[in-house]
Amino acid sequence: MERETQFIGQSAAFQDAVDRASQAALLDRPVLVIGERGTGKELIAERLHRLSTRWDRPYVIMNCAAMPETLIESELFGHEAGAFTGATRSRAGRFEEADGGTLFLDELATMSMGAQERLLRAVEYGEVTRVGSSRPIRVDVRIVAATNEHLPALVEDNRFRADLLDRLSFEVITLPPLRAREGDIEVLATYFGQRMAAVVGWDEWPGFGPRALAAMEGYDWPGNVRELRNVIERAVYRWGDPTKPIDALSFDPFASPWQPASRSTKAEPASAAAPAAASAAAPPPGQVSDLRAAVDSYEKTILADTMARCRYNQKVAAEALGLSYDQIRHALKKHGLNQ
């Protein structure tokens, strides 16, 4: 999957974040980018570099979570030959590689306290010291860091240095999740859908049907734009008729009646069984002695089963049953299923 480098969206919340990044880019100060996974933190970091006065200098990326704690300091600050087992020659770290440009530290919250202490010195004094050396090296680097954690809470838990946070938080850009970007879901879905349609060789773009649009708007998108892209591209290539609007989405690619059970998954207790089993099956017509009770029981079974299939998303379940949102909320409350 190729790297997506452009911003797509028209919601005020999203445009405000992009505008703030554009303004902060002009100032040679550290910036923190905060947001859930898949919200575009990497794109904002790249924008901060491309619009800065350092645009023609190195842009170096380091994912802190991908580095073992024993190697992260060597990756950041470099090492001298013989500094540790396997260090057969000297190596410059990411700070030296980014000298004159921008260093993007992704997943900042995963950095160890020891690495944080050395990072603090590099930010405060503009100096780094390679592992195994006592000679500091001057560097001119702008720091942009990203995380999906709430760093002030980590400071309270003594998992992140308060002084480092103070020095990195000249500006904090918090990206809105997709569910808060009003109007952007359909815009992004159309963009991703049209591109995928071209990949699979469709001559025209059929658009989305009402059920698919309702499902998109009713879903919470925990993976945000990245997840939306996967869902839409999967829907396009699975759709068999390019002359008709796409009206089926699969949010969980692992969903299957033949899904293997995880060895770590324990059997569910009786109280946690499938919601459909909570209500008894409808009795044969000749055995019904209380029509209202039988109808209520069957209605509850249908509601519970539909909610489970729709991953407890009320808007999607309402669409599947041909009900309004208010109608399904009333029915769920009536049967005690709105827990």
Q: Is 4 exposed, middle or buried (0-12, 13-18, 19+ CB in 10 A)?
A: middle
CA torsion, points 84, 85, 91, 92, in degrees to nearest 10?
A: -40
pLDDT value, residue 90: 87
Nearest to 166 by CA among 206, 124, 203, 129: 124
How far apart (Å, rounded) are the C-alpha atoms in residues 16 and 91?
41
Compute the mean pLDDT over every residue in the chain, rounded to the nearest whole number.
87
pLDDT confidence of residue 284: 65
3-state secondary structure the chain: CCCCCCCCCCCHHHHHHHHHHHHHHCCCCCEEEECCCCCCHHHHHHHHHHCCCCCCCCEEEEEHHHCCHHHHHHHHHCECCCCCCCCCCCECCHHHHCCCCEEEEECHHHCCHHHHHHHHHHHHHCEECCECCCCCEECCCEEEEEECCCHHHHHHCCCCCHHHHHHHCCEEEECCCHHHCCCHHHHHHHHHHHHHHHHCCCCCCCCECHHHHHHHHHCCCCCHHHHHHHHHHHHHHHCCCCCCCECCCCCCCCCCCCCCCCCCCCCCCHHHCCHHHHCCCCCCHHHCCCHHHHHHHHHHHHHHHHHHHCCCCHHHHHHHHCCCHHHHHHHHHHCCCCC
Task: Return residue ranges of the chain for CATH 1.10.8.60.
Answer: 179-238
How many angstroms separate the Cα of 337 from the Cα of each of 53, 215, 219, 273, 321?
57, 20, 19, 14, 16
Structure tokens at 338: 């709105």
Q: What is the pLDDT of residue 83?
A: 76
User: In 3D, which of 46, 43, 5, 52 has the Cα closest to residue 24?
Assistant: 52
Burial (CB < 10 A; 0-12, 13-18, 19+), residue 280, is exposed
Predicted TM-score (pTM) of the model is 0.73
Q: What are the backbone angles phi and psi of residue 91, rounded to the nearest 5°?
A: -145, 135
pLDDT digits over 242-291, tens only? Answer: 999 999 999 988 887 777 866 554 444 433 334 444 444 556 666 667 77
Least confident of 193-202, 274-283, 314-323: 274-283
pLDDT of residue 325: 80
Which segments of the chain belong to CATH 3.40.50.300? 12-82+90-176
Contact between 260 and 72 (Cβ < 8 Å):
no
**CATH number corresponding to 12-82+90-176:** 3.40.50.300
Q: Per-residue pLDDT for 24 more than 60?
A: yes
Q: Is it true that domain 179-238 has CATH number 3.50.50.60?
A: no
What are the tens digits of pLDDT across the range 44-100?
999 999 999 999 999 999 999 888 777 888 889 888 887 777 777 888 989 999 999
* Nearest Cα to Cα of residue 233 among 185, 190, 179: 190
Pull the structure tokens for residue 331: 């029915």
